[in-house]
Amino acid sequence: MARITIADIVKESGLSRATVDRALNRRVGVHSRTKALVEAAVQRLSRTSDVVPDWPTVELALRIGRGLMSQLKVSAEKLDAGELDVHDLYQMDDAAVLTRIRNLCQDVSRPLVLTVKNTPQLVAELARARRRGKTVVALVSDLDQMARDAYVGIDNRAAGQTASFLIGRMLGDRPTTVGVVLGNHAYRCHEDREIGFRSALRAHFPKVVLVAEAVGQDDPTKTHAAVRRMLEEYPGIGAIYNVAGGNLGLVKALKEAGRAYDLLIVGHEANHITVPLMQEGVIDFVIAQKPGELLAGAIHQARLTKMERDNDQLLVDFAVVTRFNLPEYGLDAGD
């Protein structure tokens, strides 16, 4: 499909090429009337020809699980969001991720949407890029404020509190031990979920005691081994909250220990991995949000200037999902 060029917009709007370029790239100092003229010209050109706007490319650098990655790719195909350049960082080591992000930060004209660990090295690299004019949006997992212009995702501390409420109410008012499966504390989303979970248990369910952690690094193999060790050490655990990924490894460990159907399991994301496990009855609840809403919000934030952005957080609603209210996006077959 042909694209609307800057030359097309210059001819249609009567503005100079430099002005159109500044408006399209959301530069600081462009008057609102000028932006309106450019947007109106783009809309007229879109209606009268088989073209799409030539918006700046948005880079997506995502270190997320297979289920959510598959959903975001499907969402990207459905969105009329201009050109997206997707970089899949799944299970890349920290040094490789840092190198990739450093390379992506060289071109400051391209906004960057990313999900990465909140490490000092990455924070410093992103902060330097922002000082040079790069727009950075944290997706799913937040970063230090110096490293990003905006965060788009759920309130992860509230999600952890929700998991605590589900487990506390389901287990009843009796002494019970529970476990939590972690990915990595360097992911702010994992840390916030665990903090919310712990604090809500202490405040509202003092008889439900968190006794064990299994660190799975979002990897099914590592999660399997970590959960097996946890169940061997604490065989009487009544529930597990998985703040991260690796659900196939978690379920494998439960089945090997003979605990697949008598443990209460709360996790995250409704996708082609978790939905069959819920239908089977191994996972009871997941806390999930619409992937398309996540992606659309992140792309929108990436194309705003600092003056246009009135908030550095866009919190997306989440829901508690069971096998009885599976969302349409969760039924996608995936990769």
Query: What is the tens place of the pLDDT at every residue in 21-33?
Result: 778 776 667 787 8
CB atoms within 10 A of CB 213: 12
Is residue 1 very low, low, confident or very high in pLDDT (cuts 50, 70, 90)? Answer: very low
- Angle ∠(200,205,211) on CA atoms, nearest 5: 80
Determine the residue type at 18.
A
Beta strands in 140-260 (DSSP E): 150-153, 176-182, 208-215, 239-242
Nearest to 228 by CA among 242, 216, 244, 241: 216
pLDDT for position 222:
95
Q: What is the pLDDT of residues 188-234, one digit of tens each?
A: 999 999 999 999 999 999 999 999 999 998 899 999 999 999 999 99
Least confident of 7-21, 123-137, 313-327: 7-21
Query: How far from the centroid of its chain's Cα atoms is residue 144's Cα?
Result: 16
Q: Tell me the two tokens of residue 67.
A: 């289920």
Q: Residue 211 in 3-state DSSP?
A: strand
Q: What is the C-alpha separation between 129 and 148, in angstroms, rounded?
A: 10
pLDDT for position 119:
97
- Please indicate whether the domains covering 2-52 and 156-288 agree at the CATH topology level: no
Q: Which CATH topology does 2-52 take?
A: 434 Repressor (Amino-terminal Domain) (1.10.260)
Instruction: Specify the CATH number for 58-153+291-317; select among 3.30.2040.10, 3.10.350.10, 3.20.20.60, 3.40.50.2300.
Output: 3.40.50.2300
298 and 142 in contact (C-beta within 8 Å)? no
pLDDT above 70: residue 175 = yes
Determine the residue type at 198.
R
Q: What is the pLDDT of residues 284-324, one digit of tens each?
A: 999 999 999 999 899 989 988 787 788 899 999 999 999 99
Q: Tell me the two tokens of residue 292.
A: 């398309």
pLDDT more than 70, % of the chain: 93
CB atoms within 10 A of CB 49: 11
Nearest to 297 by CA among 283, 311, 278: 311
- Angle ∠(112,113,119) on CA atoms, nearest 5: 95
Instruction: Give the start-to-end residue ranges of the domains of the chain.
Output: 2-52, 58-153+291-317, 156-288
Mean residue pLDDT across the chain: 90
- Measured CA distances, 178 to 163, 227, 284 (Å): 12, 12, 15
pLDDT for position 198:
97
Q: What is the C-alpha separation between 30 and 130, in angstroms, rounded?
A: 19
pLDDT above 80: residue 334 = no
pLDDT for position 82:
67
Domain 156-288 carries which CATH code? 3.40.50.2300
Report the length, in residues, of the chain: 335
Determine the residue type at 215.
V
Beta strands in 143-194 (DSSP E): 150-153, 176-182
pLDDT for position 320:
98
Q: pTM of the prediction?
A: 0.83
Is residue 333 very low, low, confident or very high in pLDDT (cuts 50, 70, 90)? Answer: very low
Q: What is the C-alpha separation between 143 and 121, in angstroms, rounded?
A: 12
Is residue 48 very low, low, confident or very high in pLDDT (cuts 50, 70, 90)? Answer: low
Q: What is the pLDDT of residues 227-274, one digit of tens each?
A: 999 999 999 999 999 999 999 999 999 999 999 999 999 999 999 999
- Measured CA distances, 246 to 45, 64, 188, 220, 242 (Å): 47, 11, 17, 4, 9
